[in-house]
Chains A and B, each alone.
Chain A
Amino acid sequence: MADGMTTATLKVNGEDRTVVFPTHHTLLEVLREECQLTGTKHGCELGECGACTVLIDGKPALSCVVLAAEMEGREIETVEGMHTANGPHPLQTTFAELGAAQCGYCTPGILLTAKSLLAEKPFADDPEIREALAGNLCRCTGYNKIIEAVTWAGAIARGEDDGAPTQEQVFGATLNEGAQND
């Protein structure tokens, strides 16, 4: 079965790429190996961790459980497509500023899921952010900085100035005020 090969033209980050790959290979494998877009990560290859999330026609999808052979004619976006000639996406800026990426391994999948969320719901609030990202595991951050970074990026995208993290979110709470922080 490993001998069956497929030739396909994939549209990745707006660029057409004609690639030849074993027919049973996943989109994850073809992106990383044939397209050399190693920004897309893998944590399980079983659809459990969310690290391999890419956008297919603007919707988050687990590239480890999608066959590349079925992707012709679809718009695929990877993390490499988020930083354009205009500079980084606001999510990339806020993630970097806040340290929402620590080891950075789950980050590409989370950025793309969040990008899709903000495109669909520009005013996404805390519960909506949590719900949208619930399929993406992160072992470093405790998720807090990620939520703050998505919230902030949403505000920047809306042209608002008030989405930046608070003093408490950046430095921690201060004594004598902790009780009022709820």
Chain B
Amino acid sequence: MTDPKKHGLPGQSPGGKAKNLNLIGKPFRRVDGMSKVTGQTIFADDFVAPRMVHMKLVRSTMPHAKILRIDSSIAETMPGVLRVMTGEGMQKTFGILPVSQDEHPLCIDKVRFVGDPVVAVAALTEDQAANAAAAVEIEYEALATISSVEEAIKYSDPQIHDYADDGNLHKVVSMKFGNPEGAFEKADVILEDDLFFEGNTHLAMEQHATVATAEADGKVTLYSSTQTPHYLHKALTRVLGIPASHIRVIAAPNGGGFGGKSDPFNHEICAAKMALELGRPVKICLTREEVFYCHRGRHPVQMHLKTGFTRDGEITGQHLKTALDGGSYGSYGVASTYYTGALQTVTYNVPHYQFDSIRAFTNKPPCGPKRGHGTPQPRFGWEVQLDKAAQKLGIDPAELRLKNLIQPNTVTANYLKVGSVGLKQCIEAVIEGSGWKERYGKMPKGRGLGLACGSYLTGAGLPIYWNHMPHSGVQIKLDRSGGVAVFCGQAEIGQGSDTVLAAIVAEILGIDIMHIRLCVADTDLTPVDLGSYSSRVTIMMGNAAIEAAERAKALIASAVSEKLDVPKGRLGFAEDRVFDVENPEVGMDWPDAVIAGESKHGTLGVTGSYTPPRSPGRYRGAGVGPSPCYSYSACVLEVEVDPETGLYEVEHVWMAHDVGQSINAASVMGQIEGSIYMGLGEAMMEESAFRRLPKRMSNALVHKIPSMLDYKSPTFLDMPKMTSYVIEDPDPNGPFGAKEVGQGPLLPMMPALANAIFDAVGVRVDQIPIGPHMVKKAMDDLAKGKEGRFGPGKFPDYEFGEALNVPTPEEGGDGKATNNEARGLAADRGTMTIKPVGGKKS
């Protein structure tokens, strides 16, 4: 009825970017596009199984307490109730990182935040389970709470976990590359700033859901909204104590993830355990309030940033301190901690660099990875400080950045190997698009432009647990139908990874993407892919898919070559045919070519694998930051600020992103626009705020806003005009040269807003999100002759001790530290040991 082709979706990218490719680089319909617009996609909560029952979790109402008594006697007698389960039967801990296996599926001795699960109840209906859960009585003995980084530094008693680097400090890091002190001595201008980035959450539209089905022979299958089915499989194996081969995890298409479904969760493990105990399928779908408790969102980060510049704007060195409020569990926190420092060096040349960081345990929902994982916070600090430096040095902010641009194929001071760098083109695009040169600093009061850049890794260089196996595997099965089945463990979370997988195979085999049937994210059936995190899927799955598809192509080519008597090297694969490129009418249709292949070779199956290149860093902590390649982004943002009230409106965003090579041009634009949106939400309004209930209640530390209504996020009416530029600077490590696009374009948004507000009204807001009251306060102060700034006063006092000392490549370093006994390693000794108890909290 409606043929879009007839209506003219442009099919070819401008400037012939598609480089002899049939499909890759063009915009095309996602392979899951029609099923998503017709309601056919089966998300986890849409899945039903015969005899399925429902589960609810009873969650802690206390932020920090010992569990004295659990009374489920009433709940157990209520209608429809099948089982009330406590943590007693699941003593093993779990967690996403091997170094922080600190969660129980159900708390056993104590609870660590409001929302920590204690009891699971299964009943015939969801209503019955909810009613019974409400009837469970839990008696607690309240413990003093740790509510901030400052308190975590001050008090090691009560200790939230019995392991930590230092009391309630989960992780302490201090590392020095080169000679930052010397660099500051050489600097003509030194800037020091204290900044703060409030925590926020993913708010994926889909609430986490899981259906577990037990088979009569004791096996269990989980159908779950998870970004990381492989890691969930490992966690289930550990806790359930049954062989991994008896557990099957299938990741349902996620209704959005953004990092929020990357951890193995209590409800998933409880559902599996409950299904095994009851011998029937068990479903749980979290309420939105519970999703806020699961959290794993952006860490609140305090920063102290010190950078030296020469008079003409060259960066001499940098010292960054970050303090992360980690919440109550480890989650990805150790990696998050390192990520707040690792990528400071990949956009501009920073020859000497020191990074100190602490992550505190606090009695709040656990923080974890959100889009940009640990890097938006320091990126905000860095790009705001560059704006201040430009002002101080009298250099245009764009010029200052261009002057210090990292060069392609560089090894940074902290041993990250940078490949292609399209940042210069990105800056030039947004400068030109926004009319920067004519308008920056020259517009009437109240209107301003802000520039900021960013960079993100294309896949983490190391897996979460140490091993020598591939990070991604792809298997292809071809048969006489002409259909091609592609198997891969990757999880589709909305980003379009299914489409990337199908498109790459279709491109190489020269067939219509409709011939491809995918089987993904199923630990029984698909080769392992580590999951949808760290922008790793396109590059890792993509390279594995290329290897597998090339092997399939070689098998078909050898058979067709014999059949047609054409040398293999002369065969072309395109438009569902295999043919002689010198004589195109000599050829075979695709199904006949597969038949020739199956006749010659027997059953046709091939595999491909991908492991990232080894990174040059050899120091403790060098595992966080390396990537096969880095994406680059630049943004100019235009804002209109009311000089009376501080109310502001973002009018226009120009975003340029270096994606290396688009796979699906439509998806690339979708990721850029989605990143602009999410970044703007964080910059303007999104925050995970907490408050203390009054003493007469429980004095508990609770979410101010565990609802979608109160957690403000941008609507259709809040979005500015967006102009996006796709820059394609291919990287040899990427599939067809592709780099990431899912996270990078989010990074420049927050500093671009802060910088634009400065251009508009001459005041600095050094924290995120930027509320109009902050702008107003800073403007009022400026009018009174004070500093026009709103932001934090000081970084928490903490003695980091001796830093791990790593000579830079420029200094002839070999990637190793010269003092392994220093903090970076000593800190590691503290992991999983019980620290002596310090001062009591009064």
Contacts and interface: CB of A to CB of B under 8 A. Distances in A.
A134 B39 contact: no
A90 B29 CA distance: 14
Which of B46, B654, B713, B716 has the most chain A CB atoms closer than 10 A to its own CB? Answer: B716
Report the contact-size class of chain B (Cβ under 8 Å from the partner).
35 or more
Contacts of B715: 134-135, 137
A94 interface: yes
Which of A104, A106, A108, A170 has the most chain B CB atoms closer than 10 A to its own CB? Answer: A104
B670 interface: yes
Nearest to A39: B39
B669 interface: yes
A38 B726 contact: no
Nearest to A103: B494
Given A147-B716, A172-B725, A173-B433, A82 B9 contact: no
B708 A137 contact: yes
Interface in B10-47: 10, 13-15, 27, 29-30, 32-43, 45-46
Contact of B673 (A92, A131, A139, A144): A144
A130 interface: yes
A103 B2 contact: no
B435 interface: yes
Chain A contact residues: helix, strand, loop or mixed: loop
Contacts of A108: 39
Contacts of A182: 652, 721
Nearest to B34: A96
A102 B14 contact: no
B433 A139 contact: no
B334 interface: no
B108 interface: no
Given A94-B4, A167-B10, A178 B677 contact: no
Interface string A143-182: 1111100001001100001011111111111111011011
A103 B654 CA distance: 25
Nearest to A180: B433
Which of A2, A101, A102 has the most chain B CB atoms closer than 10 A to its own CB? Answer: A102
A142 B674 contact: yes
Contacts of A41: 43, 205-206, 255
Contacts of B677: 139, 141-143
Nearest to B652: A182
A99 B707 contact: no
Contact of A38 (B30, B39, B670): B39
A50 to B, nearest CB: 9
B310 interface: no
B362 to A, nearest CB: 26
Which of B205, B674, B715 has the most chain A CB atoms closer than 10 A to its own CB? Answer: B205
A168 B430 CA distance: 15
A105 B669 contact: no
B36 A96 contact: yes
B473 interface: no
B666 interface: yes
Contact of B29 (A32, A43, A96, A104): A96
A95 B29 CA distance: 9
B670 A140 contact: yes
B37 A49 contact: no
Which of A97, A106, A167 has the most chain B CB atoms closer than 10 A to its own CB? Answer: A97
Given A106-B205, A134-B716, A139 B678 contact: yes
Report the contact-size class of chain A (Cβ under 8 Å from the partner).
35 or more
Which of B46, B664, B676, B721 has the most chain A CB atoms closer than 10 A to its own CB? Answer: B46
B707 A156 contact: no
Contact of A104 (B10, B32, B45, B669): B32
Contact of B665 (A46, A90, A145, A170): A170
Nearest to B719: A143
Given A45-B287, A181-B723, A99 B494 contact: no
B36 A170 contact: no
A144 B33 contact: no
A176 B432 contact: yes
A107 B670 contact: no
Contact of A141 (B15, B673, B713): B673
Nearest to B493: A103
Interface in B192-237: 202-207
Contacts of B357: none
Contacts of B719: 130, 142-144
B258 interface: yes
A106 B255 CA distance: 8
Contacts of B287: 45
Given A93-B2, A145-B670, A175-B432, A103 B205 contact: yes
Contacts, number: 264
B10 A137 contact: no
Interface string A51-69: 1000000000000000000
B254 interface: yes
A82 B38 contact: yes
A5 B666 CA distance: 48
Interface in B657-715: 664-670, 672-678, 707-709, 713, 715
B256 interface: yes
A42 to B, nearest CB: 7
Contacts of A79: 37-39
Nearest to B15: A174
Nearest to A24: B127
A47 to B, nearest CB: 8
A92 B38 CA distance: 7
B723 A104 contact: no
B783 interface: no
Contacts of A155: 7
Given A83-B38, A179-B433, A145 B669 contact: yes
B428 interface: yes
A182 B722 CA distance: 10
A139 B258 contact: yes
Given A87-B2, A101-B37, A111-B37, A164 B670 contact: no
A122 interface: no
A136 interface: yes
A161 B7 contact: yes
B9 A102 contact: no
Nearest to A152: B7
B496 interface: yes
A101 B674 CA distance: 11
Which of B42, B707, B708 has the most chain A CB atoms closer than 10 A to its own CB? Answer: B708
Nearest to A177: B433
Which 3 A/B pairs are nearest by Cβ-Cβ distance? A39-B39, A103-B494, A178-B433
Given A96-B33, A139-B204, 17 more contacts: A43-B205, A46-B288, A48-B708, A88-B34, A98-B27, A104-B32, A104-B494, A134-B715, A136-B716, A137-B715, A140-B670, A143-B719, A144-B673, A155-B7, A167-B14, A179-B434, A182-B652
Interface of B: 1-2, 4, 6-10, 13-15, 27, 29-30, 32-43, 45-46, 48, 79, 125, 127-128, 131, 202-207, 253-258, 287-288, 425, 428-430, 432-435, 493-496, 652, 654, 664-670, 672-678, 707-709, 713, 715-717, 719, 721-726
21 contacts: A22-B127, A38-B43, A38-B45, A46-B707, A49-B708, A80-B39, A90-B2, A92-B34, A95-B37, A96-B36, A97-B4, A103-B205, A105-B204, A111-B37, A130-B719, A134-B716, A139-B256, A141-B677, A143-B673, A169-B669, A178-B723
Interface of A: 2, 22, 32, 36-46, 48-49, 51, 78-80, 82-83, 86-88, 90-99, 101-108, 111, 129-131, 133-147, 152, 155-156, 161, 163-176, 178-179, 181-182
